[in-house]
Amino acid sequence: MPPVAEPIEELHGVDAAALPEALLQPTRPCVLRGLVAHWPLTRAASAEASAAYLKRFAGDAEVTVSLAPPEADGRISYRPDLLGFGFEQRKAPLSEVLDALLQYAGDPAPPTIYVGSTTIDTWLPGLREGNDLGFGEVQPLASIWIGNRTRIPAHQDLPDNIACVVAGRRRVTLLPPDQLRNLYIGPLDRTPAGQAVSLVDFAVPDHRRFPRFAEAMRHAQVAELGPGDAVLIPSMWWHHMEALEPFNVLVNYWWRQSPRWMDTPMNALLHAIMSVRDLPPAQREIWRDAFRHYVFEADAQTCAHIPEAVRGALAPMEEARSRELRARLLQGLNR
């Protein structure tokens, strides 16, 4: 019998206008029931009303829309051979995309229509004036996601994330970061939407091909969200997002607990794969110890023997020093 995922912890009565500090530095996920139920966008009574409300802000700007045939069953991922993707992308005005979603709403087997990660301030200026969260001094990136029944494979995001359902329903499955080995992640440098994704189809998992996936699901947490509900997804938690209705809209906020100038660790991972992974085993062990010393176990004693004025990269990182290091790395990579 397959394992049953635990429910995600729930919080009620959170003030959307002034999010608590604890939610802005999360270590565990939670569902925030009714967080944005008061938004005008959420209170639209139907798909038609939601589409009409969004059109007020859409203008003529074209968005990127992903399209897949009915047999994809809403999954935005690779082709079975992994040599390409099972969807294509086009540019279209958002108003036309909304009309297409309404047109196919009654179709039992529609093509997949999906607009992902579209920056609200750029493509829907003014929408946030009546539909926003209070982050205090934190300045998140607000995006909107629109589509019909879609399934987004499990993936990680570096920023913390609050995802708010404003139309339709979504099923969210979360797994802790330590389930990396059990999720069978695809290519790191050729991804459907910028982040490496699990190759497991959560709806019909192939346990022969992916035998460790059952172990991953023993650590899974799940929730179903309706209009007004939100889920807080901490940095690097795996999340599988499934939109359940013919018309779905989600607004999310991303923010990092590190400075904006700090580079993404994915760049360091790719560089390490390029320069460390394929070394002879004895040399790789030497570099494992170096990474442990200078990165993962670094403390005040790591460079205490070096005068502060000449510690360079070993000193606490700051924006100016980060720019100097980036320039040096670029010079080395461009040799």
Return the structure tokens found at 325.
Answer: 């290091």
Residue carrying structure tokens 């929408």:
127
Digit-coded pLDDT (tens) for 54-105: 999 998 889 999 999 999 999 999 999 999 999 999 999 999 999 999 999 9
Q: State the sign of the Cα–Cα–Cα–Cα dihedral 153, 222, 161, 166.
A: positive
Q: What is the pLDDT of residue 45?
A: 80
Is the model's pLDDT at 3 over the cut of 80?
A: no
Q: In this structure, are residues 36 and 16 in contact, taking their beta carbons and an 8 Å threshold?
A: yes
Cα separations (Å) of 254 from 6, 81, 325?
Answer: 25, 32, 26
pLDDT range class, residue 246, cuts 50, 70, 90: very high
Q: CA-CA distance, 318 to 141, in Å (whole number)?
A: 22
- Residue 1, pLDDT > 60, answer no
3-state secondary structure of 157: coil
User: What's this model's pTM, rounded to 2 decimal places?
Assistant: 0.95
Write down the mean pLDDT value for the chain. Answer: 96
Report pLDDT for 2: 60
Share of the chain above pLDDT 70, in %: 99
The alpha-carbon radius of gyration of the chain (Å, integer) is: 22
- What are the domain boundaries of the chain? 6-255, 265-333
Instruction: Give the number of other CB atoms < 10 A from CB of residue 319.
Output: 11
Here the tokens at position 248 are 């779905």
CB neighbour burial string for 159-191, b if at least 16 within 10 angstroms, e if fewer: bbbbbbbbbbebebbbbbeebbebbbbbeeeeb
Q: Please say whether the beta carbons of 24 and 11 come within 8 A.
A: no
What does the pLDDT look like over 121-160, one tens digit per residue? 999 999 999 999 999 999 999 999 999 999 999 999 999 9
CATH number for the region 6-255 comes to 2.60.120.650
Mean pLDDT across the stretch 287-300?
97
* Whether the predicted pLDDT of 4 surpasses 80: no
Q: What is the pLDDT of residue 143?
A: 98
Residue 31 has pLDDT above 90, yes or no: yes
